[in-house]
Amino acid sequence: MGRIHLHGVSKSFGPVTVIPPLDLAIEDGEFVVFVGPSGCGKSTLLRLIAGLEDVTEGRIEIDGRDATRIPPARRGLAMVFQSYALYPHMSVRRNIAFPLRMAGLPRAEQDRRVEAAARVLNLTDYLDRRPGQLSGGQRQRVAIGRAIVREPAAFLFDEPLSNLDAALRVGMRLEIAELHNRLGTTMIYVTHDQVEAMTMADKIVVLNAGRIEQVGSPLDLYRRPRNLFVAGFIGSPRMNLLGGEEARRHGAATIGIRPEHVRITPEGGPWRGTIGVSEHLGSDTFLHVRCDGIPEPVTVRAGGEVGLHHGDTVFLTPDPAGLHRFDDNGQRIE
Amino acid sequence: MARAVPLPRKALTTALAWTIGVLMFFPILWIGILAFRTEVDAIRPPLQVLAAPWTTESFAAVQQRSNYLRHFTNSVVIALGSTAIALLVAIPAAWSMAFVPSRRTKNVLLWMLSTKMLPPVGVLIPIYLIFRDAGLLDTRTGLVIVLTLINLPIVVWMLYTYFREIPAEILEAARMDGATLRSELLFVLLPMAVPGIASTVLLNVILAWNEAFWTLNLSAARAAPLTAFIASYSSPEGLFYAKLSAASIMAIAPILLIGWVSQRQLVRGLTFGAVK
């Protein structure tokens, strides 16, 4: 079981409030991603759940039990750190066995579980090496191994992939997602990378300045961002956010439209502009278009091969169904 | 790649380094020479001292007159004892300052270090009186206590700088893995800090071994360590250079040997943390 409920949890460091009171419910077996720009309090929130930081106010419940004052060791959670935090003086085997040794498990049982975890994570050949002799991806797997042998109620991941290179990151992302499918254990995953959030999460929690901006499934957030912050943060390339005259015509302070919801119409359209930079990714081409009467450049997603170049004049037609409207306070207008 | 250094410049810097090295080592060297001279030869002008014949009679005289082994044992007990107790106190202290710092940690550290700037003689009389009333004068226990306290700030400070090099995340990982505070210290922090602790121990043993002010003032016959052994050859009966030198050589030889054998560790310890 791994239900984690936060009730009015807040955190202050001296006079500075990093997390104003917030409520959050994480259900058993969910893969929840905390995402937000750096300094938004997502890691602090994770550390509050882990018990590595004391909550200033509020209550943390794990499986219905008040865990607010329970030390981290007894919360039944396992954590994977950004720096892996392996014990450099112990072999991989002893690293993975450490939580079992602390729990006082018999030696045979320790060995059995370590071997099993090593098989799952392809670490069998490395069990007698020291962490210093492993690559970044292998170290990451050892850290995960150390977490899974405990059979915790939930896994906490604190930006686990940010020290890996791009190719490895995609691979580890899949491995972690697969692990979640196989174990079915609650996972809380912190990242600043919205692509990681979109691809892995059952539920995304978007944080900004310690506040929860929106909670929902990846597609929820993508399709119906509740406010300007979420609209701008989720999606790559980001949503076009246009103010001024164009927005007023739609009865909003700001309108948002994703690049894929703007079509290039050669015969004519409501927006007329000149192509600036075009980014060719092979499968897609992103065009940055300066439109007459719109101060912000508009990003448009076109097909893989378009015969358009810098300086060409094009007409753009926004898809009315893909239009998001926001009021003066940046909140969504339905 | 190493830089190419022209030969004359290399020769010059080498000569300079040797000169400074010899100058610094000269007093020890001279004591070493005097120790192997007769009392009469030892007070001749330097060139004649050098030319005089070698003899070990001073060592024999010293050994005959005083009990070297007792002083040596006292030194060992005092140096190791005070270091062990200082470590027991300093490890938890340094742990808390390095990993759970408060707003006042820096001030506490500086305050501790500032006690080292106090001239010891300023507190000699109160401590002497306390020791007298507690029956600690001229006891090894008393000297262990006073040397522990004298060197504690340095031990805490050194361990603190070593502990600071250890990423806090590793200790947090241990905590998440179910380690109690004791296991965290014993199985994670201490094994990782072994090099730092070793050089702290080494330095502290040397400091305690050589400490003269408190050992001379608070001991008489029974608990007197090697510092008192050397001192006993100075003033009261006039200066006996050769015997004094022989006693000095006997007193510093063990620690010199330890320092020599472990110098790599010691240098690494003293510069540890200077560069990452």
Output the domain CATH number for residue B200.
1.10.3720.10
**Closest Cα partner for A239 from A226, A248, A249, A228?**
A228
What count of other Cβ atoms lies within 10 Å of the Cβ of residue B38?
Answer: 14
Q: How far apart are CA B157 and CA A136, in angstroms?
A: 34
Distance of CA B183 to the CA centre of its chain: 31
Position B50 in a domain: yes
Give Cβ neighbours of residue B46 (< 8 Å, ≥ 6 apart).
none
Tell me, yes or no, whether B44 and B172 share the same domain: no
Out of B169, B170, B183, closest to residue A102 by CB = B183
Q: How far apart are CA B59 and CA B37, in angstroms?
A: 10
Average pLDDT over residues B225-229: 85
Tell me, yes or no, whether B54 and B73 share the same domain: no
Tally the domains of chain B.
2
pLDDT at A228: 94
Tell me, yes or no, whether B46 and B89 share the same domain: no
pLDDT at B236 over 80: no
- ipTM of this model? 0.84
Most B CBs within 10 A among A13, A70, A81, hence the mutation to make, goes to: A81
Contact A34, A188 (CB under 8 A): yes
Q: What is the mean pLDDT of chain B?
A: 86
Contact B163, B189 (CB under 8 A): yes
Tell me, yes or no, whether B94 and B34 share the same domain: no
- Whether the CB of A89 is below 8 Å from some CB of chain B: the reply is yes
User: Are the beta carbons of A52 and B192 separated by less than 8 Å?
Assistant: no
CATH superfamily of A4-232: P-loop containing nucleotide triphosphate hydrolases (3.40.50.300)
Position B2 in a domain: no
Burial of A286 (0-12, 13-18, 19+ CB in 10 A): middle
Q: How far apart are CA A100 and CA A39, in angstroms?
A: 34
pTM of the model: 0.79
pLDDT tens digit sequence for B15-27: 999 999 999 989 9
Residue predicted with more confidence, B272 or A4 = A4
Position B12 in a domain: yes
pLDDT at B260: 83
Q: Radius of gyration over alpha carbons of chain A, in Å?
A: 24
Tell me, yes or no, whether B55 and B78 share the same domain: no
- Whether the CB of B173 is below 8 Å from some CB of chain A: the reply is yes
Tell me, yes or no, whether B125 and B180 share the same domain: yes
pLDDT at B271: 56
Most confident of the ranges A195-204, A277-286, B56-65, B264-273: A195-204
Most A CBs within 10 A among B177, B184, B190, hence the mutation to make, goes to: B177
> What residue spans define the domains of chain A?
4-232, 237-333
User: Are the beta carbons of A85 and B178 separated by less than 8 Å?
Assistant: no
Domain A237-333, second-level architecture: Beta Barrel (2.40)
Contact B109, B157 (CB under 8 A): yes
Which residues on B lie below 8 Å from A99 (Cβ)? Answer: 177-178
- Block residue for tokens 């490895």: A168
Tell me, yes or no, whether B204 and B228 share the same domain: yes
pLDDT tens series, chain A, 334 aa = 789 999 999 999 889 999 999 999 999 999 999 999 988 999 999 999 999 999 999 999 999 999 999 999 889 999 999 988 999 989 999 999 999 999 999 999 999 999 999 998 889 999 999 998 998 889 999 999 999 998 899 999 999 988 888 888 888 899 899 999 999 999 999 999 888 999 999 999 999 999 999 999 999 999 999 999 999 999 888 999 998 888 888 889 999 999 999 998 878 888 999 999 988 888 888 999 998 888 889 999 988 777 788 888 889 999 999 999 999 999 999 8
Position B254 in a domain: no
Q: How far apart are CA A94 and CA A100, in angstroms?
A: 10
**Closest Cα partner for A291 from A308, A309, A269?**
A269
Average pLDDT over residues B182-208: 89
pLDDT at B237 over 70: no
Which residues on B lie below 8 Å from A89 (Cβ)? Answer: 191-192
pLDDT at B275: 38
Pair type for strands A313-318 and A271-280 = antiparallel
Beta bridge partners, A78, equal: A155
User: Are the beta carbons of A87 and B170 separated by less than 8 Å?
Assistant: yes
Residue predicted with more confidence, B124 or B232 = B124
pLDDT at A224: 94
Which residues on A lie below 8 Å from B177 (Cβ)? Answer: 73, 78, 98-99, 102, 146, 150
Q: How far apart are CA A226 and CA A216, in angstroms?
A: 10
Q: How far apart are CA A286 and CA A170, in angstroms?
A: 22
HSE value, Cβ hemisphere, 13 Å, CA-based, for B21:
6
- Lowest-pLDDT range, B71-75, B112-116, B263-267? B263-267
Sheet holding A57-62, edge to edge: A16-26, A4-13, A57-62, A65-66
Tell me, yes or no, whether B84 and B35 share the same domain: no
pLDDT at B172 over 60: yes
pLDDT at B274: 41
Out of B176, B180, B188, closest to residue A78 by CB = B176
Tell me, yes or no, whether B212 and B109 share the same domain: yes
Tell me, yes or no, whether B43 and B147 share the same domain: no
Most B CBs within 10 A among A46, A79, A190, hence the mutation to make, goes to: A79
Tell me, yes or no, whether B75 and B106 share the same domain: yes
pLDDT at B276: 31
Q: How far apart are CA A313 and CA A274, in angstroms?
A: 5
Q: How far apart are CA B180 and CA B5, in angstroms?
A: 56
- Whether the CB of A333 is below 8 Å from some CB of chain B: the reply is no
Tell me, yes or no, whether B142 and B211 share the same domain: yes
The tokens for A286 are 């992103």
Position B261 in a domain: no
Residue A114, min C-alpha distance to chain B (Å): 14
Q: How far apart are CA A259 and CA A212, in angstroms?
A: 26
User: Are the beta carbons of B176 and A50 separated by less than 8 Å?
Assistant: yes
Range of the domain at B78: 67-232
User: Are the beta carbons of A99 and B177 separated by less than 8 Å?
Assistant: yes
User: Are the beta carbons of A150 and B177 separated by less than 8 Å?
Assistant: yes
Residue A131, min C-alpha distance to chain B (Å): 13
